[in-house]
Structures are given as structure tokens and as C-alpha cells.
Structure 1
């Protein structure tokens, strides 16, 4: 894939995520106009918003961290086993998955697991969050 093709694909991915966020109310038109262009600023804004959420913040952060470091799709039993205090019951994991459904795909099955919807999103999460820790 050439540079122009990669840039168009990146722009299309960013546009799709922005449209989904506007449609589901996770992003307002006013907030959108204040964001710098590009996927990075959108992901940073989304992560900042997640930080301001109350009860699910710890579960969401743990799920994202596990998906970011996993070497493949993460089946549902794995987060429960790796973080039993965060995910004592499946509904807690399900709530975290629902909160990040724009970026995490999969059904938690052994075949499909959970993972970032695109490798670039995973890289951004690793760069912007995990590298800060």
C-alpha cells in the first residue's frame, strides 16, 4: 500500500469512527469542531472522556490494557482470570466491552475473543496510555 492509499485508509477509518461517535452521542458537533484533525486527537479525547466516567473506569481501563498487550484475540475467560478483582462476574466484563464497543470488537468466544478493531488503534493506545505508565 502506497503512502496516499494508507493516508486515505486512515482518513476513512477516522471518519467512520467520528460518524459513529456523533451518531451514538459520544461526541457532540461542538466538541468535534474543537478537536485537531486526525485519529490521534480523537482517540485522546475519547480516552479523556472515559477517565471522567464513574463506575466503569477501572474495568474499561483494565480491558483496554489487556487487549493492548495481548498477542491475539482475548477470549472472555482470560480477563476474568487475569483480573479477577476487576471482573468478578461476567456482567462486569460485558459492561466494559459495551463501553468501548467503538474500538474493541469480538464476542469473547475462544474463536474471536476481544481485540482492538484496528492495529493502529492498538498502537495509539500503547503509545498514549501504556507508555505514560
Structure 2
């Protein structure tokens, strides 16, 4: 992504709520089945809460049964970035915003076709905007 956003942690703390900061900047997670978007079927584009970067289309959202909003692909290849996550005694692939680097969730290889991927994303990290 060309226009990377850089802010100090103090700037992030001022612009995000405590819950948003915990999830987006400290790599936290919301409890399963509690997020505002895990059952949403509204049409639109899901943007990063921290920087407004377009991340996922509602056309790629599906019910995975995981308790978090799930998508089978990002809106653009460079909308997100991937990082190896060895926390909590597991080996996972972390998904971060391609513009600001905020933690969004994780991607798994057990999703539907055509990609076979399940982007399991925290609702707090998303802001749905109608198309």
C-alpha cells in the first residue's frame, strides 16, 4: 500500500476508544458472538476503524459459526498484510490493516471457495459503510 499511516502510540490512544486501542494496537480480541458485525447482513464496504482503509466487501462476508465476522477475501490484495503469530501457544496468521498496521484478526485455511480462506475479523476493527 502506497500511503502508509504512521502515528505514535500516544496519538493512537487519543484517537481510539480504550476498547479499540486494546484490539487494534495491542492485538486484543473481542469475545466471540458479541461484536456488532458478526451477524450483520447489510450491504457495503467494511473499513478499518483506525484509518478508514477499505478492507472487505459485504459480498465476501459469510457465516462461519466462529462468532466473529468472517470474509473469504479482502477487497484488494494490499488492503491487508499478514504476519506470523506464535502467541497463546498457537501458530496462526495475523491480519493487519495494510495502511495503518492495526490488528484486525486472523486468517485460516478453512473457508469457502473460491479462496478457501476465512478472515476472522474483530467487529471493533471494522466500520461498515453503505455503498
Choose between structure 1 and 2 for higher RCO, CA contacts under 8 A separated by at least 6 residues: 2
TM-score normalised by the chain length of structure 2: 0.35
| Rg (Cα) greater in structure | 1
Structure with bigger helix share is 1
Q: TM-score, normalised by structure 1?
A: 0.35
